[in-house]
Amino acid sequence: MDMINVKINGKEITAPKGQTILQIAEANGIEIPTLCYIAEVKAYGACGLCTIEVEGIPKLLRACSAVASDGMVISTDTPRVRQSRKIALELLMSDHTGDCKGPCSLNCPAGTDCQGYVKLIAQGKFKEAVELVKDKVPLPASIGRVCPHPCETACRRKMVEEPISIAFLKSFAADEDLKSGDKFMPEIAESTGKSVGIIGGGPAGLTAAYFLAVKGHKVTVYDAMPEMGGMLRYGIPQYRLPKEVLDMEIASIAELGVEMKNNVRIGADVTFDEIKNAHDATLVAIGAWKSSSMRIPGEDLEGVYGGIDFLRSVALKNPVKLGKKVAVIGGGNTAMDACRSAVRLGAEEVYVIYRRTRAEMPAEKVEIDEAEEEGVIYKFLNNPVEIIGEDGKVKAVKLQVMELGEPDAGGRRSPVPVEGKFETIELDNVIMAIGQKININGFETLELTDRGNISADTETFRTSLDGVFAVGDATNRGASIAIEAIGEAQKASEVIDSYLNGKMIGYKKPYVSEKIVTAADLADREKISRAKMPQRSPEERIHDFNEINLGFSVETAMNEAKRCLECGCHDYHDCKLIRYANQYDVKPERFAGDKHDCPKENELVYIERDQNKCVLCNLCVRVCDEDVGKGLIGLVGRGFTTVIKPEFADRSVTEFCKTCQKCVNACPTGALKTL
């Protein structure tokens, strides 16, 4: 066999004469991107991604069709080549319409594959579902119970009737896994010899500990409280999140080799510098544990409590003394937890005072409704202006009556005082649940934002100190929901791992293709009611802190999961197009224009075709013709109107497709799917 010598990216290679540059590169482990080439068919050169530069040749060549010659000096990754590929990808993506991921996953701050684990639950694969969830969230049984589920807000099933019960399905699968006796545990990488100190054992700190331990690092978590869990333990009542469940999930993290040290107060028991100097990297995830002040007269009276302080006392089984009449100020989930806890502690009249209307309360609707079922009284469009005392104790609260003013630039109507109109309510206690802020004591060397939070880079999570990272409620924007902190911590674990490996790589939000879907597009779907979570009755549950939700049965969970519309692409994880799109940082909006709008069809009976995802690489046509020898599909039309369609008269020939599926396997974009 005649051989030639070429150089690719500086590497000397001897190869058989007559091979293409792409074949030689592949044989030597050098990847050249291509969407339209596989070895079973002739080179076609449709996608334009395999361009390369060759010394002495002024134009770019297509590696799939260019035959190598002796002495060629080839470069596969020059700025000119990258620009060419980027433009080719942007042109392809400009007419590629499909959902890479379901809107549920895209709206989850942690990026969980909601569609994936819901499908696994529908199939009865609960352990596999938990494994998929734990790719992003290591506390699924806990988070599934308390998350305000932004995933469900985005769920397209609501255009049919109601969104999928995604969060409860998550906790269902996790519960099944925990009680199975064979719970999922991730594989741990070989020890790196590196150590990470994590300050804060809440959802963010525990999440980072989980992922860093899985990567082989030695992790120690330091926390000021008696037990790990942070706000999941000390800010969320037992009736929503049983601590026995949280304990099991934390124990699973400890089983990975994570060392957990409680009752460690920075600045009192150990200094920040001592922890920082003891580890190769440090993550600060201290949360926001101070209740915000209303800054009105009377806040220092006996009987006035901060919302977080009140809930922490309840969690520590050292509840504060409450009288018969209690008012909770605020409209968020902390306010709901506080008012419902007050009911369970025996308060006879519990008010929630909120300066806007019910429709504008940031708390979950289900929490608002359940609190009302338990006897909580709402006072909307009222704003406290003074807490009135007698003998140093709370006696009443004076409320300014409000009304909604004109819409602001964002369309939201702000509450404004009704001049001269006030109301006074006699009370024994006031609980202020209007926000949280951080306690910076012990961390004074860290740079802060104008809001008094720790300043952390949004891509690398680095603080002002080298080797120190920060995530969660203590940083930048301040307190948010637990899944937000978990998402940040998972991303930060990737960055910290890269830092420990010597080359820090910041987080970058991946590019995905998204499709606009309307209710009209889903009008043909059967209406199936959302599964209702069984609960203890209000009359029973107000007398204790036992969990109020009774959980789904296996049958209910599987049926609920089967309601999923499976919006995201079935081929996302193996899609070459989206992998290259992210690799070359595409901006397809630069080439915005008309797009094909073709319905999905299954004329091939056993294969679904989505022309909207097709990039006309022609692989399916060529495989069916050249490799299989059937020629069942072909190009139809000219120019922009060109599409790929089946071309046959006898439908019986499609029986062959049932066992062949080679066109599906060859498709690089998920335009073909086995039915």
Tokens linked to 124: 């009865």
Distance CA 259, CA 211 (A): 14
Question: How much is the pLDDT for 383?
Answer: 96
Question: How much is the pLDDT for 649?
Answer: 56
Cβ contact 194:222 at 8 Å: no
| Domain chopping of the chain, boundaries | 3-77, 103-185+519-561, 195-289+438-500, 291-436, 596-674
Distance CA 153, CA 148 (A): 9
Question: How much is the pLDDT for 640?
Answer: 80
Identify any residues that bridge with 198 across adjacent strands, giving them in sequence order. 221, 283
Q: Classify residue 448 by burial, with Cβ atoms within 10 Å: 0-12, 13-18, 19+.
A: middle
> CATH topology for 3-77?
Ubiquitin-like (UB roll) (3.10.20)
Q: Classify residue 115 by burial, with Cβ atoms within 10 Å: 0-12, 13-18, 19+.
A: buried
Distance CA 239, CA 343 (A): 12
**Side-chain-facing half-sphere of 303: CA atoms under 13 Å:** 24
Question: How much is the pLDDT for 411?
Answer: 74
pTM for the whole structure: 0.92
- Amino acid identity of residue 294, one-letter, is M
Tokens linked to 243: 């601590």
Contacts of 44 (CB under 8 A, 6+ apart): 36, 37, 64, 617, 618, 619, 622
Contacts of 159 (CB under 8 A, 6+ apart): 517, 518, 519, 522
What's the distance, Cα to Cα, between the start and end of the chain in Å? Answer: 46
Contacts of 225 (CB under 8 A, 6+ apart): 201, 233, 234, 262, 263
Contacts of 488 (CB under 8 A, 6+ apart): 109, 204, 461, 471, 472, 475
Q: Tell me what percent of the residues of the chain surpass a pLDDT of 70.
A: 99
Cβ contact 301:432 at 8 Å: no
- Cα separations (Å) of 369 from 365, 482, 538? 6, 22, 11
**φ, ψ of residue 71 in degrees (nearest 5):** 90, 0
Beta strands in 391-483 (DSSP E): 393-407, 413-426, 429-432, 436-437, 468-470
213 CA to centre of own chain = 20
As separate numbers, helices (DSSP H) first and strands (DSSP E) second, the chain gives 22, 24
Distance CA 624, CA 632 (A): 7
Distance CA 500, CA 407 (A): 50
**φ, ψ of residue 472 in degrees (nearest 5):** 90, -160
Distance CA 10, CA 55 (A): 12
- Cα separations (Å) of 580 from 33, 446, 466, 494, 507? 7, 39, 33, 21, 17
H helix or E strand, kind and range, residue 5: strand 3-8
Question: How much is the pLDDT for 648?
Answer: 63
Question: How much is the pLDDT for 349?
Answer: 97
> Judging by DSSP bridges, how do beta strands 281-284 and 259-261 pair with one another?
unpaired
Distance CA 139, CA 433 (A): 26
Cβ contact 151:108 at 8 Å: yes
Regions of the chain with pLDDT less than 50: none
H helix or E strand, kind and range, residue 225: none
Q: What dotted CATH number matches 103-185+519-561?
A: 1.10.1060.10
Cβ contact 240:250 at 8 Å: no
Q: Say yes or no: domain 596-674 is CATH 3.40.50.150.
A: no
Q: Which CATH number fits domain 195-289+438-500: 3.30.200.20, 3.50.50.60, 3.40.50.300, 3.40.50.2000?
A: 3.50.50.60
Identify any residues that bridge with 39 across adjacent strands, giving them in sequence order. none
pLDDT in tens, 647-667: 765 667 778 888 889 999 999
Domains 195-289+438-500 and 291-436 share a fold: yes
> Which CATH class for the 291-436 domain?
alpha beta
The alpha-helical segments, DSSP class H, found in 445-537 are: 482-500
Cβ contact 623:41 at 8 Å: yes
> Looking at beta carbons, which pairs linking 595-602 to residues 24 or more positions away fall under 8 Å?
595/94, 595/95, 595/97, 596/95, 596/97, 596/643, 597/97, 598/643, 602/675
- DSSP letter at 612 equals G
